[in-house]
Structure 1
Amino acid sequence: MFFNGGLLKYCGSNRCSEKRVTAVAISNDGQYVCFADKFGVVWVVDLRELDESQASANKKAAPLLAHYCSIITSLEFSPDGQFVVSADRDFKIRVTVFPKKPLDGAHEIQSFCLGHTEFVSCLTFICTLEYPQGFLVSGSGDSTVRLWDITSGSLLDTCEVGVKAGHLVSEGSGEGHSTVTDLSTIQDSQLVAVAIQRQVSSVICALQGILILSCNISAQTLYFAKVVSIKGENFIPTSLGSSSSVGLLWMVTGVSNVPGFDYSSLSRVKVISGFNKNSADSVENEPTVLEDNDIPGGMELLKKLQGSVCVEEKVFLAAAEAVKTSMCNLLIKKQYSSEKREFRKRTRNDRKIKQ
C-alpha cells in the first residue's frame, strides 16, 4: 500500500482523495485503512470490500473524523486497536475511540494530548507485556520528544532532543532549531529511534546520526541513551522503521551518493544493527551502520529500493538543493497578514464544481 498526492493505492485498487493525502494507518486486524488529507479529514476504507467486489474499488472512502481544517501529520493505531491517534500542524494530538462500525464515523473522543508548542510531526507507541495498551511517544518541531498516557491525555515526560542534536551538526553551521522528523520504536525493546533535522536560518543542515532514547515504563520517563553516528554522507533522514524479527533499524535518507553507481541516486537506504532485543531499557551492544553488502538482500535489494538510474552531477546537485528547500518549507508554518488571509479566503478553490 502507498499513497501519492490525492491517490491511495492498495493491491491494485485505488481510492481517490479530493485533497492531498498526508498520513496513512492500517488497523491492527488488517481490516481497515485510514488516511488523512490536507484539509484535516480522516477517511476510512474497508479492505474486506476490496476482496468481495471489484466494483467496490470505485467507491469513495467514508469520513471517520476531522481536525477542523488543520493539516494532519501522523496517524497511528494503539497497540490494542482500541484507539486511533491523529496529530496535526496546530500542536494537537487527538485520541479517538475506534468504533465497531468505522464506516459510520468515529464520534467518541477519548482525550487530547496537549503540550507541544510547535507542529506535531510524528507518533509511535511503546508497550510491554505489563502495559499492552502502551504509551504514546510524539515528536515535534519544538525540539522535544514527549511521552503520553492516551487514556487520560496526561503528559508523562518530556525529552529535550535539540541540545543533543547540536552535537551532530556539521562544524561551522552555528546555532539553529531542531525538528523531530520521524520516530520508530525498536522491536522487542523500550528504545525509540529519533530522526532530527536542524534548521539554521533558512538552511537545513545535514545531521550525522540518529538519536536513541530509552523509555522506563515503570517510572514512565524518557531519557537519552546514545547517538549512532553516520559519517561521510549528506545525511538527511526522512523515514525510520524497525524490523519485526531482528534488531535492525532501517532508514530512508534524502539525496546522497550511492557507492557502486556511476553518479548518484535521489534516495539512500541505510541499516543500523546491534540492538539486542533482550535489553529492555538500554543499549547493551554498540549499534553500527551496516555496509551495503551486509544488508539483508544486499545490493540487489538496494537497487530495487533506491533505483539504479544514473544522473548527471549537476542534476544531482540541483535535486539535493531542491530537497533541502522543500524540507525547509515543510518545517516552517506560513504566516499571513490579515489582508492576505482574507484574500485567500475569498479566492479559495477547494470547492470546485464537479462536472
Structure 2
Amino acid sequence: MEESHIEEGERQNKLLDVAPALISVHPSQKSVAVTVGSDLRVFNLIDNSPVTLVDEANESFHKDSIRAIRYSESGKLFVSTGDDKLVKIWSAESWRCLNTICSEKRVTAVAVSHDDSYVCYADKFGVVWVVELDGINEGQILPSKKGVPLFSHYCSIITSLEFSPDGRYILSADRDFKIRVTVFPEEPLQGAHEIQSFCLGHTEFVTCIAFVSNPELAQSYLMSGSGDSTVRLWDITSGSLLDTCEVSTVAGHLETNESEPTQVTVTDICAIPDSSLAAVAIQSFQGILLLSCDLSAHTLSITKVIKIPGESFIPTSISLSTSTLWMVSGASNGSSQPGYSRVRVISCIESEKSSILEDEQIPGGTKLLEKLQGKVSVEESVMIAAAEAVRAAMSSLLMKKQYSEEKREFRKRSRNDKKTTN
C-alpha cells in the first residue's frame, strides 16, 4: 500500500517534470547545439553537416533530461549536464567526450572558466562543485574525475552560474530570489571562502543572469531575469541594484485587477558582445525583447519588441553568436518518444534592419532543421502543447517537492548512502 501510494506520487511529479528545449551556439558560429529531453543534437555550420557524437565510455550519452549546455568562451569545449547526474565535457572540434563526471545529485547549471581550466556545476541541493581540467586543452581524454565542493547555497536550488568577464568572480543565482557573488580563488579545489556581495531585490526565483559591457567602459554590469516579471541591473562589486525594467506589460500581459497583476517569467537573457544591448525571452511571449543598458546612467530600457509572426513560437532558450540570435522552442516530458523542437533565427539583431529568417535562409538550411528539430517541419499543435507544458511546469521545476511523512521515511531508507554493501 505504501509503495503504491509513493509510485502514484512519483507519476504525478513526473508529469510536471518537463525539460525545456535548450540551444547554444559556438562563439564563432562554427556549430550549434540543441537539446530536447535527453537528446543532444549538434550541427556543424562550417561543413554544413550533422555532427556524430563519440562517447567511448557511454553509448547512450545522457540517460535523462539535459538541463544545462554551454560552449566555453574559447569555443574549444562544450559541456552538457542534467537529471542523470552526469556532467559531460566534449571537444567542440572532434565532438569526442573527453570526460564524464558523476554528480551526487541532479545538476541544474554549469559554467566554464575563461581559460578552460575549470568546470563548475551546481546541483539541486544548492552545492556548487568544481572540476580541474588539466590537459584538456590538448584534446586529451581525461581519467575519471570527481567534483570538489566549492561553496553552497544551503538547499536552495541554483538556477544559473556565470563567471565574471574578468574571471575574478563566479556568480550563482537561486530559487530563493538571490544572486551570490563569490571570489573565485586561486586554488579552487580548496573551496571558495570569500563572498564579495549579494544582489538582493528580486521578489521571485531568479532564472538567468548575463553580463553586459561596453568597450568604452572598464566595468561590466550584471543583468538578471526572474519570475517576478523584471529584468534588473546590478553592480556586482557592491551588490547594488541600479535599475529595474518591468516586462510583463510589454509582453501583452495586462493586469487582471489592481490587486493581483499577472506575472510572467523571464526565461533567458543573452547579452550582445561589445554592446549595451541584450535579448530577453519571456515565458509566454511569442518573440523576444531587446533591452538597452545605459551603463553611464545605470538605466535599463526596452528599445525593440520583435514578434515572431505566423506560428505559436515561444522561445524556451536563446543564444547569440556575433549579431545573429538563435532561438529554440520545445519541451520534453522525459518519455521514450523523441522530442521535437522548433528553431528560428534573427539576423542583425542589434540593428534597425534586423530580420526573422525564413527556414531556407537559416545557416545550414533544411539539413540543419532536420538535425536540430528532429524533422524539417514541426506541426503548430506540437509547439502549442510544448509551450503549455513549459508554462505549467516552470514553477514546479524550481520548487522542492512536498512529501508526506511516510514517503520521506521511505526515501530515507532507499538512499544510496544508507544502503549497506556486502
TM-score with structure 2 setting the length: 0.69
Instruction: Give the alignment partner of residue 153 of structure 1, picking from 239, 244, 248.
Output: 239
Equivalent residue for 1:308? Answer: 375
1:210 aligns with 2:288: yes
1:229 aligns with 2:307: yes
Q: What amino acid maps onto 2:210 in structure 1?
A: T
1:225-253: CA deviation from partner (whole Å, max 9, x where unpaired) = 1100102222231111110xx31111111
Equivalent residue for 1:89? Answer: 175
Alpha carbons of structure 1 residues 53 and 60: separation in structure 2 relative to 1, 3 Å: farther
1:36-56: CA deviation from partner (whole Å, max 9, x where unpaired) = 011100111111155799895
Q: What amino acid maps onto 1:14 in structure 2?
A: T
Distance 2:136 2:289 in 1: 40
Equivalent residue for 2:349? Answer: 275
1:82-114: CA deviation from partner (whole Å, max 9, x where unpaired) = 100000000010000001111111111000000
**RMSD (Å), alpha carbons:** 3.2
Say which SS state the counterpart of residue 158 (structure 1) adopts.
strand
Equivalent residue for 2:418? Answer: 353
Shift of 1:129: 2.4
1:265-319: CA deviation from partner (whole Å, max 9, x where unpaired) = 611111111234xxxxxxx414221111111222212222222399999988876
Distance 2:205 2:404 in 1: 20
Equivalent residue for 2:198? Answer: 112
Distance 1:124 1:222 in 2: 14
Q: Which structure has more RCO (C-alpha within 8 Å, separation ≥ 6)?
A: 2
Equivalent residue for 2:317? Answer: 239
Contact 2:312 2:380 in 1 (8 A): no
Instruction: Give the alignment partner of residue 252 of structure 2, picking from 162, 166, 169.
Output: 166
Aligned 1:1-355 pairs, distance under 5 A: 1-5=79-83, 6-11=85-90, 12=97, 13-48=99-134, 50=136, 57-166=143-252, 176-197=262-283, 206-243=284-321, 246-254=322-330, 266-276=340-350, 284-308=351-375, 322-327=389-394, 329-330=396-397, 333=399, 348-349=411-412, 352-353=417-418, 355=421
Distance 1:56 1:274 in 2: 39
Distance 1:55 1:295 in 2: 34
Q: What amino acid maps onto 1:248 in structure 2?
A: T
- Shifted more, 82-91 versus 50-59: the winner is 50-59
Contact 2:327 2:343 in 1 (8 A): yes
Distance 2:291 2:262 in 1: 21
Shift of 1:188: 2.9
Alpha carbons of structure 1 residues 353 and 293: separation in structure 2 relative to 1, 3 Å: same
- Shifted more, 301-310 versus 78-87: the winner is 301-310
Contact 1:78 1:133 in 2 (8 A): no
Q: What amino acid maps onto 2:297 in structure 1?
A: A
Shift of 1:348: 4.9
Contact 1:79 1:132 in 2 (8 A): no
Say which SS state the counterpart of residue 394 (structure 2) adopts.
helix
What stretches of structure 2 of length at least 5 have no aligned partner?
A: 1-78, 91-96, 255-260, 333-337
TM-score with structure 1 setting the length: 0.81
1:169-208: CA deviation from partner (whole Å, max 9, x where unpaired) = xxxxxx73211011001223211111111xxxxxxxx422
Shift of 1:346: 5.1
Alpha carbons of structure 1 residues 232 and 109: separation in structure 2 relative to 1, 3 Å: same
Distance 1:90 1:167 in 2: 24
What stretches of structure 1 of length at least 5 have no aligned partner?
A: 169-174, 198-205, 257-263, 277-283
Contact 2:287 2:307 in 1 (8 A): yes
- Shifted more, 67-76 versus 6-15: the winner is 6-15
Shift of 1:254: 1.6
Alpha carbons of structure 1 residues 165 and 341: separation in structure 2 relative to 1, 3 Å: farther
Distance 2:378 2:346 in 1: 27
Distance 2:217 2:360 in 1: 38
